[in-house]
Amino acid sequence: MLAAVFNLNHPAHTVDWSFIHLSVANVVVIALMLVVFVLAILLPFPGVERRRGGSS
């Protein structure tokens, strides 16, 4: 069986701020969702000019 990419043989690392208690893994996922959300708004969609009757 393949080993895990990361060493998982220890308690999870956490981020603690006041009552907020999150595992680093969950913080990474939340940050990735925010990045993807911003990119989805900013990045142009392929073929958008053609669909809107543009020249390109």
Partner 1 sequence: MSATPTRSSSWTVRVREAGVAALPPEKLLPDGQPTYVASWIYVFGVASIASLVVIVTSGSILALKGPAWWHYTGVGHFFNSIHMWAVELFFFVMVVHLWGKYWMAAWRGGRAKVWITGAVTFLVAVPTALTGYVSQQNFDAQWISTQAKDGLNSVGVGAFFNVTNFGQMYSYHVLLLPLAVVGLVAAHVLLVRNHGVVPPFKLDERPSLAPIAKDTDGPAVPTGAQS
6 is a site residue for partner 1 (CB under 8 A) = no
**Contacts (Cβ under 8 Å, ≥6 apart) of 24:** 12, 13, 14, 15
User: Of 17, 45, 55, 56, which one interacts with partner 1 (CB under 8 A)?
Assistant: 45
**Contacts (Cβ under 8 Å, ≥6 apart) of 30:** 22
Contacts (CB under 8 A) with partner 1, residues 21-40: 29, 32-33, 36-37, 39-40
Task: Tell me the two tokens of residue 30.
Answer: 């939340």
Residue ranges binding partner 1 (CB under 8 A)? 1, 29, 32-33, 36-37, 39-41, 43, 45, 47-48, 51-52
